[in-house]
Structure 1
Amino acid sequence: MAVFGHGQLRLYLLSLLEAGPRHGYELIRALSDRFGGTYRPSAGTVYPRLARLEEEGLVERAESGRKTLYALTDRGRAEVEAHRAELAALEHELADVVRELAAQVRAEVAGSMAGMRAEMAAAAQQARAAALQARDARATAPAGDVPRPGGPPAAGSRPGGPGADARREARARRAAIEADLAAFRAEVREAVRRAEASGGPTALTADTVRTVLASARAAIAATLPPR
């Protein structure tokens, strides 16, 4: 959906500079914060408009170390003052836009969560079916010929017997689960670390993590035997 109408981003950038000079990146982050992270303009959107404002004599640039600061000129301040009522109306419009964007994000997250829950439920169902099939096979197998999950029937020739095999396989599965959990944690932590460089993570990110983990815990619990 369109966030700013014609000329509105130009005016809003001027209003953000009214509080004092800012770097281009700070302006992008301020816009992202204003929308609660649901909208973040690209550098290719913001910098050309700043260049145009400079051409109009409304903004001036100043070097600050390796970065460029943008500040309002007297003409820029007069432009903001002349459009004060328009800016107030724009703030009301943006409040509605933020609510619409938040609703869209919530719907998308809910859809993603529903899909994930369905996939987890299907995996849990498959695990339960496999467990029942293995139990039935053990119940009907002749003595000394008990099938083992994922392998040929045991003939009692392996040291430790079927019980030892089952324990080894359980330990292997636990190790695989722990490795998957460690990889997931590392990936999420790295994504969050990268987001911090851009002013995130947002409250929506935190809510999504909590929702995903709650769904995962419920789905995993359904595959475990009762205590």
Structure 2
Amino acid sequence: MSPAVFSHGDLRLYLLSLLAESPQHGYGIIQALTDRTGGTYTPSAGTIYPRLAKLEEEGLVTKTADGRTTIYAITDAGRAELEARQGDLAGIESGLADSVRLIANEVRQSVQEAMKSLRADLAAAAQEQSPPETPRAPSNDARAESRAELHRADAVLNAFRAQVRTDLRTHVAKGGTLAPAVVSELDAALDAAAHQITRALNPS
């Protein structure tokens, strides 16, 4: 979602809805907008404060000083306008919900693509393995190569874990939703990958 999601007048109305929930300072309003849009829209102070000033001129909000912080609150006139435009507000909120769902789908797709890539790497590694014709003790060179590959496997797993963990934490921190189905799908994919590794290490 880009700033264009708030067409003319939409952001003004959404600001009123946020203030109807509770009085807020400017930064709190900016943070609320970021959270509600899953981090896809973070307005600048230059976008928010002029609109708040306009709402104050129209008598729809008031501002009071709390130390060095300015707190904005909706007025009765602001609540009346909000009530009169409930249909418009419902449309705006539906658009925001669609955006959050899109982010959740992107996270799910990212996990799926990462797991597909991991499965492909494991399959390729399994195909490259050829069991010796007769059992024999591994040579020193083979042991050294195995230790090197073990370190590389650790690095691959750690990088994958760090990337997925960062993506998920960032998504949730920005206010996005994490559906149980996404976590279940990740768990199932990792379980399948573990079984494939076991088969690759113990070819029949």
Structure 2 match to 1:123: 121
**Cα distance between partner residues in 1 of 2:91 and 2:56:** 26
Partner of 1:215: 189
Q: How far is 1:119 from its partner?
A: 1.7
Match of 2:6 in 1: 4
2:133 counterpart SS class: helix
Residue equivalent to 1:18: 20
3-state SS in 2 of match to 1:79: helix
- CA deviation map 1:6-27 (0-9, x unaligned): 2122122123223442122322
Whether contact under 8 Å (2:100, 2:177) holds in the other structure is no
CA distance in 2, matches of 1:122, 1:219: 10
Q: Indicate if the aligned counterparts of 1:192 and 1:201 stay in contact, CA closer than 8 A.
A: no
TM-fit CA distance, 1:33: 4.9
Tell me if structure 2 keeps the 8 A contact 1:38–1:105: no
Asked if 1:89 corresponds to 2:87, the answer is: yes
Deviation (angstroms), 1:82 = 3.6
Scaled by the length of structure 2, the TM-score of the pair is 0.67
Matched-pair contact (CA < 8 Å) for 1:61–1:71: yes
CA offset digits 1:183-213 (Å, max 9, x no partner): 55566667777778xx546432886566445
Structure 1 partner of 2:178: 204
Over 3 Å counting, the alpha-carbon distance change for 1:16 and 1:123 in structure 2 is: same
Unaligned runs of 5+ in 2: none
Aligned partner letter, 2:8: H
Write the distance in 1 (CA, Å) between the matches of 2:164 and 2:118: 19
Task: Name the counterpart of 2:138.
Answer: 162
Choose the corresponding residue for 1:177, options 153, 174, 184: 153
CA distance in 2, matches of 1:126, 1:102: 36
Q: Percent sequence identity over matched residues? A: 36
Residue of structure 2 in register with 1:78 after alignment: 77
Q: CA RMSD in A?
A: 4.0
Gaps of 5+ in 1: 147-160
Larger Rg: 1
Q: Which of 130, 134, 139 is 2:133 aligned to?
A: 139
Distance in 1 of aligned mates of 2:123 and 2:50: 54
**1:38 Cα offset (Å):** 6.8
Question: How many equivalent pairs are there?
Answer: 198
Distance 1:114 1:46 in 2: 38
Contact preservation (8 Å) 2:63, 2:73: yes
2:103 aligns with one of 83, 102, 105: 105
Looking at both structures, which has the greater relative contact order when contacts are Cα pairs under 8 Å and sequence separation is at least 6?
Answer: 2
